[in-house]
Structure 1
Amino acid sequence: MPGELRAEEYLRMPGLPTRAELIGGRIIRPAPQSMWHVGMTDLLMWELRRQAPDGLRTARNMAVKLTSQDVPTPDVLVLTAEAHRRREPDNHFFADDIALVVEVVSPESEERDREAKPCLYAAAGIPRFWRAEEGEETDTVFTHELDASTRRYELCGVHRGRLKVTVPYGIEIDLNAVDRY
Protein backbone atom coordinates (compact mmCIF):
# COMPACT_ATOMS: atom_id res chain seq x y z
CA MET A 1 0.00 0.00 0.00
CA PRO A 2 1.18 3.56 -0.66
CA GLY A 3 2.71 5.29 2.34
CA GLU A 4 3.78 2.07 4.07
CA LEU A 5 7.43 1.74 4.99
CA ARG A 6 9.55 -1.38 4.87
CA ALA A 7 11.60 -2.32 7.93
CA GLU A 8 14.90 -1.79 6.10
CA GLU A 9 13.93 1.80 5.21
CA TYR A 10 12.67 2.51 8.70
CA LEU A 11 15.82 1.19 10.39
CA ARG A 12 17.98 3.53 8.28
CA MET A 13 15.91 6.68 8.98
CA PRO A 14 17.85 9.37 10.84
CA GLY A 15 16.32 11.49 13.57
CA LEU A 16 13.49 9.23 14.74
CA PRO A 17 12.46 9.88 18.34
CA THR A 18 13.38 7.33 20.99
CA ARG A 19 10.62 4.72 21.34
CA ALA A 20 9.28 5.30 17.79
CA GLU A 21 7.94 2.10 16.22
CA LEU A 22 7.01 0.72 12.83
CA ILE A 23 3.70 -1.15 13.08
CA GLY A 24 1.99 -2.34 9.92
CA GLY A 25 4.31 -0.20 7.81
CA ARG A 26 3.41 3.00 9.63
CA ILE A 27 5.57 4.99 12.02
CA ILE A 28 4.08 5.37 15.50
CA ARG A 29 5.54 8.35 17.32
CA PRO A 30 5.47 8.04 21.09
CA ALA A 31 3.58 10.32 23.43
CA PRO A 32 5.38 11.69 26.49
CA GLN A 33 5.69 9.13 29.28
CA SER A 34 4.14 9.47 32.72
CA MET A 35 6.33 9.21 35.82
CA TRP A 36 4.65 5.89 36.62
CA HIS A 37 5.57 4.52 33.17
CA VAL A 38 9.20 5.59 33.58
CA GLY A 39 9.34 4.17 37.12
CA MET A 40 7.77 0.81 36.21
CA THR A 41 9.98 0.45 33.13
CA ASP A 42 13.08 1.17 35.22
CA LEU A 43 11.99 -1.14 38.05
CA LEU A 44 11.40 -4.06 35.71
CA MET A 45 14.53 -3.43 33.64
CA TRP A 46 16.89 -3.08 36.59
CA GLU A 47 15.46 -6.02 38.53
CA LEU A 48 15.49 -8.25 35.45
CA ARG A 49 19.11 -7.18 34.86
CA ARG A 50 20.16 -7.67 38.48
CA GLN A 51 18.67 -11.17 38.66
CA ALA A 52 19.64 -12.37 35.16
CA PRO A 53 21.86 -15.43 34.88
CA ASP A 54 24.97 -15.55 32.72
CA GLY A 55 23.98 -15.67 29.09
CA LEU A 56 21.06 -13.21 29.35
CA ARG A 57 21.06 -9.41 29.29
CA THR A 58 18.44 -6.65 29.40
CA ALA A 59 17.79 -3.61 27.24
CA ARG A 60 15.14 -0.95 27.09
CA ASN A 61 13.54 0.87 24.18
CA MET A 62 15.41 -1.09 21.51
CA ALA A 63 13.79 -1.95 18.19
CA VAL A 64 13.02 -5.59 17.34
CA LYS A 65 12.64 -6.42 13.64
CA LEU A 66 9.78 -8.92 13.46
CA THR A 67 8.57 -8.67 9.84
CA SER A 68 9.18 -6.56 6.76
CA GLN A 69 6.69 -3.97 8.13
CA ASP A 70 6.82 -4.45 11.91
CA VAL A 71 9.61 -3.08 14.09
CA PRO A 72 8.18 -2.47 17.56
CA THR A 73 10.18 -0.92 20.39
CA PRO A 74 9.33 -2.80 23.60
CA ASP A 75 9.81 -1.06 26.92
CA VAL A 76 12.07 -3.84 28.24
CA LEU A 77 13.75 -6.84 26.64
CA VAL A 78 15.57 -9.85 28.02
CA LEU A 79 17.87 -11.15 25.32
CA THR A 80 20.87 -13.35 24.74
CA ALA A 81 24.30 -12.06 25.70
CA GLU A 82 25.44 -12.80 22.14
CA ALA A 83 22.80 -10.48 20.68
CA HIS A 84 23.67 -7.82 23.24
CA ARG A 85 27.36 -7.92 22.20
CA ARG A 86 26.67 -8.00 18.46
CA ARG A 87 28.06 -4.96 16.63
CA GLU A 88 25.97 -5.27 13.46
CA PRO A 89 23.17 -4.45 13.43
CA ASP A 90 23.58 -2.12 16.37
CA ASN A 91 20.16 -0.44 16.28
CA HIS A 92 17.83 -3.44 16.54
CA PHE A 93 17.44 -7.06 17.55
CA PHE A 94 15.61 -10.03 16.02
CA ALA A 95 12.87 -12.22 17.51
CA ASP A 96 15.31 -15.15 17.88
CA ASP A 97 17.44 -12.98 20.20
CA ILE A 98 14.62 -12.42 22.72
CA ALA A 99 13.69 -14.50 25.79
CA LEU A 100 11.14 -12.02 27.18
CA VAL A 101 9.49 -8.82 25.97
CA VAL A 102 7.78 -6.39 28.38
CA GLU A 103 5.29 -3.65 27.60
CA VAL A 104 4.33 -1.02 30.19
CA VAL A 105 0.87 0.25 29.23
CA SER A 106 0.15 3.98 28.91
CA PRO A 107 -3.19 5.53 28.01
CA GLU A 108 -2.00 6.27 24.46
CA SER A 109 -0.61 2.77 23.91
CA GLU A 110 -3.36 0.61 25.45
CA GLU A 111 -4.61 -0.99 22.23
CA ARG A 112 -1.09 -1.58 20.84
CA ASP A 113 0.26 -2.99 24.12
CA ARG A 114 -2.77 -5.18 24.87
CA GLU A 115 -3.70 -6.38 21.37
CA ALA A 116 -1.48 -5.53 18.39
CA LYS A 117 2.02 -5.98 19.79
CA PRO A 118 1.39 -9.25 21.67
CA CYS A 119 0.02 -10.74 18.43
CA LEU A 120 3.14 -9.62 16.55
CA TYR A 121 5.49 -10.95 19.24
CA ALA A 122 3.68 -14.30 19.38
CA ALA A 123 3.62 -14.70 15.59
CA ALA A 124 7.38 -14.06 15.59
CA GLY A 125 7.91 -16.80 18.19
CA ILE A 126 9.06 -14.73 21.19
CA PRO A 127 8.55 -17.18 24.07
CA ARG A 128 7.38 -14.81 26.83
CA PHE A 129 5.44 -11.57 27.06
CA TRP A 130 4.70 -9.46 30.14
CA ARG A 131 2.29 -6.53 30.32
CA ALA A 132 2.46 -4.06 33.23
CA GLU A 133 -0.57 -1.91 34.04
CA GLU A 134 -1.06 0.86 36.58
CA GLY A 135 -3.85 0.25 39.06
CA GLU A 136 -5.71 2.57 41.37
CA GLU A 137 -4.64 0.58 44.42
CA THR A 138 -1.94 -1.73 43.14
CA ASP A 139 -0.03 -2.23 39.91
CA THR A 140 -0.37 -5.48 37.98
CA VAL A 141 1.93 -7.51 35.75
CA PHE A 142 0.34 -10.11 33.51
CA THR A 143 2.75 -12.87 32.46
CA HIS A 144 2.22 -14.86 29.28
CA GLU A 145 3.89 -17.89 27.67
CA LEU A 146 3.83 -18.71 23.99
CA ASP A 147 1.83 -21.74 22.91
CA ALA A 148 4.07 -22.85 20.04
CA SER A 149 1.31 -24.80 18.30
CA THR A 150 -1.09 -21.84 18.05
CA ARG A 151 1.48 -19.01 18.05
CA ARG A 152 -0.62 -17.26 20.70
CA TYR A 153 0.18 -16.26 24.25
CA GLU A 154 -1.46 -18.03 27.16
CA LEU A 155 -1.92 -16.11 30.42
CA CYS A 156 0.27 -17.74 33.07
CA GLY A 157 -0.03 -15.33 35.96
CA VAL A 158 -1.50 -12.12 37.32
CA HIS A 159 0.90 -10.49 39.77
CA ARG A 160 -0.09 -7.72 42.16
CA GLY A 161 2.32 -6.38 44.76
CA ARG A 162 4.95 -9.05 44.09
CA LEU A 163 5.99 -10.77 40.90
CA LYS A 164 7.59 -14.17 41.35
CA VAL A 165 8.27 -16.49 38.41
CA THR A 166 10.70 -19.23 37.45
CA VAL A 167 10.89 -18.55 33.69
CA PRO A 168 12.81 -17.33 31.79
CA TYR A 169 14.77 -17.55 35.08
CA GLY A 170 14.03 -17.16 38.77
CA ILE A 171 12.75 -13.62 39.25
CA GLU A 172 11.19 -11.91 42.25
CA ILE A 173 10.21 -8.23 42.08
CA ASP A 174 8.46 -6.04 44.63
CA LEU A 175 6.07 -4.16 42.34
CA ASN A 176 5.30 -1.70 45.14
CA ALA A 177 8.87 -0.40 44.79
CA VAL A 178 7.93 1.49 41.60
CA ASP A 179 8.04 4.82 43.45
CA ARG A 180 11.75 4.33 44.18
CA TYR A 181 12.60 4.21 40.47
Structure 2
Amino acid sequence: MTANLQWPYVPPDGWTAADLDHIGPDGPNGELDALKRIELIDGELIIMSPPTEFHMLVVDGLRSELRRQCPDHLTAVREMDVLLGPKQRPCPDISVVTKTATSDMDRTYYERDDVLLVVEVVSKSSEIRDRETKPRRYAQGGIQHYWRVENISGQPVVYVYELDPATSTYVVTAIFHDRLKTAVPFAVDIALDELVR
Protein backbone atom coordinates (compact mmCIF):
# COMPACT_ATOMS: atom_id res chain seq x y z
CA MET A 1 0.00 0.00 0.00
CA THR A 2 1.15 3.55 -0.69
CA ALA A 3 2.28 4.99 2.62
CA ASN A 4 0.54 8.01 4.11
CA LEU A 5 -2.13 8.50 1.43
CA GLN A 6 -2.87 12.15 0.77
CA TRP A 7 -5.97 13.08 -1.17
CA PRO A 8 -6.16 14.20 -3.98
CA TYR A 9 -2.39 14.12 -4.58
CA VAL A 10 -1.25 11.22 -6.71
CA PRO A 11 1.55 9.08 -5.24
CA PRO A 12 4.84 9.39 -7.19
CA ASP A 13 4.36 5.96 -8.81
CA GLY A 14 0.57 6.37 -9.25
CA TRP A 15 -2.19 4.64 -7.35
CA THR A 16 -2.19 0.85 -7.10
CA ALA A 17 -4.99 -1.70 -6.93
CA ALA A 18 -4.06 -2.38 -3.29
CA ASP A 19 -4.63 1.30 -2.44
CA LEU A 20 -8.33 1.10 -3.29
CA ASP A 21 -9.13 -0.96 -0.20
CA HIS A 22 -7.66 1.81 1.95
CA ILE A 23 -9.53 4.69 0.37
CA GLY A 24 -12.88 5.21 2.04
CA PRO A 25 -15.97 6.57 0.30
CA ASP A 26 -14.85 10.10 1.30
CA GLY A 27 -11.22 9.74 0.18
CA PRO A 28 -8.21 8.65 2.26
CA ASN A 29 -8.69 11.39 4.83
CA GLY A 30 -12.43 12.05 4.53
CA GLU A 31 -12.21 15.19 2.39
CA LEU A 32 -14.66 14.37 -0.41
CA ASP A 33 -18.17 14.02 0.95
CA ALA A 34 -19.72 13.65 -2.52
CA LEU A 35 -17.47 10.84 -3.73
CA LYS A 36 -19.55 7.69 -4.14
CA ARG A 37 -17.49 5.27 -6.25
CA ILE A 38 -14.04 5.15 -7.78
CA GLU A 39 -12.14 2.80 -10.04
CA LEU A 40 -8.47 2.49 -10.99
CA ILE A 41 -7.43 2.62 -14.65
CA ASP A 42 -3.79 2.96 -15.68
CA GLY A 43 -2.84 4.00 -12.14
CA GLU A 44 -5.35 6.86 -12.09
CA LEU A 45 -8.40 7.09 -9.85
CA ILE A 46 -11.56 7.67 -11.85
CA ILE A 47 -14.54 9.16 -10.04
CA MET A 48 -17.75 7.74 -11.44
CA SER A 49 -20.57 10.15 -12.19
CA PRO A 50 -24.05 9.61 -10.76
CA PRO A 51 -25.99 7.28 -13.09
CA THR A 52 -28.74 8.50 -15.39
CA GLU A 53 -32.18 6.90 -15.28
CA PHE A 54 -31.38 5.06 -18.55
CA HIS A 55 -28.12 3.73 -17.11
CA MET A 56 -29.77 2.56 -13.89
CA LEU A 57 -32.67 0.82 -15.64
CA VAL A 58 -30.44 -0.95 -18.17
CA VAL A 59 -27.91 -2.09 -15.57
CA ASP A 60 -30.63 -3.37 -13.21
CA GLY A 61 -32.57 -5.09 -16.00
CA LEU A 62 -29.57 -6.69 -17.72
CA ARG A 63 -28.08 -7.92 -14.45
CA SER A 64 -31.39 -9.43 -13.42
CA GLU A 65 -31.87 -11.18 -16.78
CA LEU A 66 -28.29 -12.41 -16.95
CA ARG A 67 -28.53 -13.79 -13.41
CA ARG A 68 -31.79 -15.56 -14.32
CA GLN A 69 -30.35 -17.06 -17.52
CA CYS A 70 -26.82 -17.95 -16.30
CA PRO A 71 -25.78 -21.58 -16.04
CA ASP A 72 -25.80 -22.87 -12.45
CA HIS A 73 -22.07 -22.32 -11.88
CA LEU A 74 -22.25 -18.62 -12.87
CA THR A 75 -23.99 -15.51 -11.58
CA ALA A 76 -24.29 -11.86 -12.61
CA VAL A 77 -23.25 -9.05 -10.27
CA ARG A 78 -23.10 -5.30 -10.56
CA GLU A 79 -20.41 -2.74 -9.78
CA MET A 80 -17.68 -4.98 -8.38
CA ASP A 81 -14.04 -4.28 -9.24
CA VAL A 82 -12.01 -6.68 -11.37
CA LEU A 83 -8.30 -6.90 -10.57
CA LEU A 84 -6.43 -6.93 -13.88
CA GLY A 85 -3.00 -5.87 -12.63
CA PRO A 86 -1.19 -3.64 -10.12
CA LYS A 87 -2.44 -0.44 -11.83
CA GLN A 88 -5.73 -1.81 -13.22
CA ARG A 89 -8.85 -2.31 -11.11
CA PRO A 90 -11.82 -1.20 -13.21
CA CYS A 91 -15.38 -1.49 -11.97
CA PRO A 92 -17.68 -2.85 -14.71
CA ASP A 93 -21.38 -2.05 -14.55
CA ILE A 94 -22.11 -5.80 -14.71
CA SER A 95 -19.91 -8.89 -14.51
CA VAL A 96 -20.73 -12.53 -15.00
CA VAL A 97 -18.56 -14.46 -12.55
CA THR A 98 -18.21 -17.93 -11.11
CA LYS A 99 -20.49 -18.56 -8.13
CA THR A 100 -17.50 -19.74 -6.10
CA ALA A 101 -16.03 -16.23 -6.45
CA THR A 102 -19.07 -14.74 -4.67
CA SER A 103 -18.76 -16.95 -1.58
CA ASP A 104 -16.34 -14.57 0.21
CA MET A 105 -18.59 -11.84 1.63
CA ASP A 106 -15.60 -9.63 2.57
CA ARG A 107 -13.99 -9.45 -0.85
CA THR A 108 -13.83 -6.10 -2.66
CA TYR A 109 -12.85 -7.31 -6.14
CA TYR A 110 -12.81 -10.36 -8.38
CA GLU A 111 -9.71 -11.91 -9.91
CA ARG A 112 -9.62 -11.95 -13.71
CA ASP A 113 -10.00 -15.75 -13.74
CA ASP A 114 -13.32 -15.40 -11.88
CA VAL A 115 -14.85 -13.29 -14.68
CA LEU A 116 -16.35 -14.57 -17.93
CA LEU A 117 -18.13 -11.42 -19.18
CA VAL A 118 -18.08 -7.71 -18.40
CA VAL A 119 -20.74 -5.22 -19.48
CA GLU A 120 -20.42 -1.45 -19.63
CA VAL A 121 -23.40 0.85 -20.17
CA VAL A 122 -22.00 3.97 -21.83
CA SER A 123 -22.68 7.35 -20.25
CA LYS A 124 -21.67 10.78 -21.55
CA SER A 125 -18.96 10.99 -18.89
CA SER A 126 -17.55 7.53 -19.69
CA GLU A 127 -17.71 7.33 -23.50
CA ILE A 128 -13.95 7.15 -24.14
CA ARG A 129 -13.31 4.80 -21.23
CA ASP A 130 -16.17 2.42 -22.17
CA ARG A 131 -15.47 2.47 -25.92
CA GLU A 132 -11.67 2.48 -25.92
CA THR A 133 -9.70 2.31 -22.67
CA LYS A 134 -11.59 -0.28 -20.64
CA PRO A 135 -12.11 -2.75 -23.52
CA ARG A 136 -8.35 -2.68 -24.18
CA ARG A 137 -7.60 -3.34 -20.51
CA TYR A 138 -10.23 -6.10 -20.22
CA ALA A 139 -8.86 -7.77 -23.37
CA GLN A 140 -5.25 -7.51 -22.18
CA GLY A 141 -6.40 -8.99 -18.87
CA GLY A 142 -7.85 -12.01 -20.68
CA ILE A 143 -11.58 -11.39 -20.05
CA GLN A 144 -13.20 -13.52 -22.76
CA HIS A 145 -16.36 -11.48 -23.43
CA TYR A 146 -17.22 -7.79 -23.40
CA TRP A 147 -20.58 -6.14 -24.07
CA ARG A 148 -20.99 -2.40 -24.59
CA VAL A 149 -24.47 -0.91 -24.29
CA GLU A 150 -25.23 2.39 -26.02
CA ASN A 151 -28.23 4.67 -25.60
CA ILE A 152 -29.59 5.18 -29.13
CA SER A 153 -32.62 7.49 -28.97
CA GLY A 154 -33.57 6.14 -25.55
CA GLN A 155 -33.23 2.47 -26.54
CA PRO A 156 -30.38 0.14 -25.53
CA VAL A 157 -28.21 -1.21 -28.34
CA VAL A 158 -25.75 -3.96 -27.34
CA TYR A 159 -22.40 -4.44 -29.06
CA VAL A 160 -21.05 -7.94 -28.37
CA TYR A 161 -17.31 -8.62 -28.44
CA GLU A 162 -15.25 -11.78 -28.10
CA LEU A 163 -11.56 -12.01 -27.29
CA ASP A 164 -9.25 -12.99 -30.14
CA PRO A 165 -6.52 -14.98 -28.36
CA ALA A 166 -4.01 -14.40 -31.19
CA THR A 167 -4.06 -10.62 -30.74
CA SER A 168 -5.45 -10.19 -27.19
CA THR A 169 -7.99 -7.76 -28.62
CA TYR A 170 -11.76 -7.85 -28.93
CA VAL A 171 -13.59 -8.57 -32.18
CA VAL A 172 -17.20 -7.44 -32.55
CA THR A 173 -19.35 -10.52 -33.19
CA ALA A 174 -22.84 -8.98 -33.20
CA ILE A 175 -24.91 -5.83 -32.66
CA PHE A 176 -28.38 -6.19 -31.12
CA HIS A 177 -31.11 -3.54 -31.33
CA ASP A 178 -34.45 -4.99 -30.24
CA ARG A 179 -33.57 -8.39 -28.83
CA LEU A 180 -30.27 -9.69 -27.47
CA LYS A 181 -30.13 -13.34 -28.47
CA THR A 182 -26.83 -15.18 -28.42
CA ALA A 183 -25.39 -18.58 -27.53
CA VAL A 184 -22.03 -17.18 -26.40
CA PRO A 185 -20.81 -17.15 -23.64
CA PHE A 186 -24.05 -18.97 -22.75
CA ALA A 187 -27.61 -18.94 -24.08
CA VAL A 188 -29.13 -15.48 -23.57
CA ASP A 189 -32.43 -14.08 -24.83
CA ILE A 190 -33.36 -10.58 -23.62
CA ALA A 191 -35.94 -8.15 -24.98
CA LEU A 192 -33.91 -4.95 -24.90
CA ASP A 193 -36.83 -2.53 -25.21
CA GLU A 194 -38.34 -3.96 -22.01
CA LEU A 195 -35.27 -2.89 -20.02
CA VAL A 196 -36.26 0.79 -20.22
CA ARG A 197 -40.01 0.43 -19.61
TM-score, structure 1 normalization = 0.94
Looking at structure 2, the residues matched to 11 and 49 of structure 1 have their Cα atoms a distance apart, in angstroms, of 27
In the alignment, structure 1 residue 42 sits paired with structure 2 residue 52: no
RMSD: 1.5
Q: Which residue of 2 aligns with 1:176?
A: 193
Q: How far did residue 25 of structure 1 move?
A: 1.0
Quote how far apart the aligned CAs of 1:20 are. Answer: 1.4
Check if 1:128 corresponds to 2:128.
no
Secondary structure in 1 aligned to 2:152? coil
Letter in 2 for 1:127: Q
**Deviation readout 1:73-126 (Å, 9 max, x if unpaired):** 0000000011111356x1100111001000000000000000000000000000
1:33 CA drift (Å):
0.9
Aligned counterpart for 1:84 among listed residues 97, 102, 107: 102
User: Are 1:12 and 2:22 an aligned pair?
Assistant: yes
> 1:107–1:87: structure 2 CA closer, same or farther, 3 Å change rule?
same
Q: Which is further off, 78-87 or 118-127?
A: 78-87
8 Å contact kept, 1:19–1:62? no
* Structure 1 CA distance for aligned equivalents of residues 80 and 193 of structure 2: 26
The structure with the larger Rg is: 2
Aligned-pair distance for 1:137?
6.2
- Give the match's secondary structure for 1:131: strand
Gaps of 5+ in 2: 1-10, 27-34
Indicate the structure whose relative CO is greater, using CA pairs within 8 Å and at least 6 residues apart. Answer: 1
Q: Percent identity?
A: 38
Q: Are residues 1:31 and 2:49 paired?
A: yes
Q: Whole-Å Cα distance in 2 between the matches of residues 18 and 64 of structure 1?
A: 18
The aligned runs of 1:100-179 (5 Å cut-off) are 100-136=117-153, 138-179=155-196
Query: Is 1:18–1:61's contact at 8 Å kept on the other side of the alignment?
Result: no
Q: Which runs of 5+ in 1 are unaligned?
A: none
Does 2:70 match 1:52? yes
Query: Is the CA contact 1:58–1:76 (under 8 Å) kept in the aligned structure 2?
Result: yes
Equivalent pairs, count: 179
Query: What CA distance in whole angstroms lies between the structure 1 residues aligned with 2:148 and 2:48?
Result: 18
Instruction: Report if aligned partners of 1:74, 1:101 keep a CA contact under 8 Å in 2.
Output: yes
Q: CA separation in 2, counterparts of 1:137 and 1:116?
A: 24
Structure 1 residue ranges, 4+ long, deviating more than 6 angstroms after superposition: none
Cα deviation, residue 24, structure 1: 1.2
* CA displacement at 1:14 relative to structure 2: 1.9
Indicate if the aligned counterparts of 2:25 and 2:36 stay in contact, CA closer than 8 A.
no
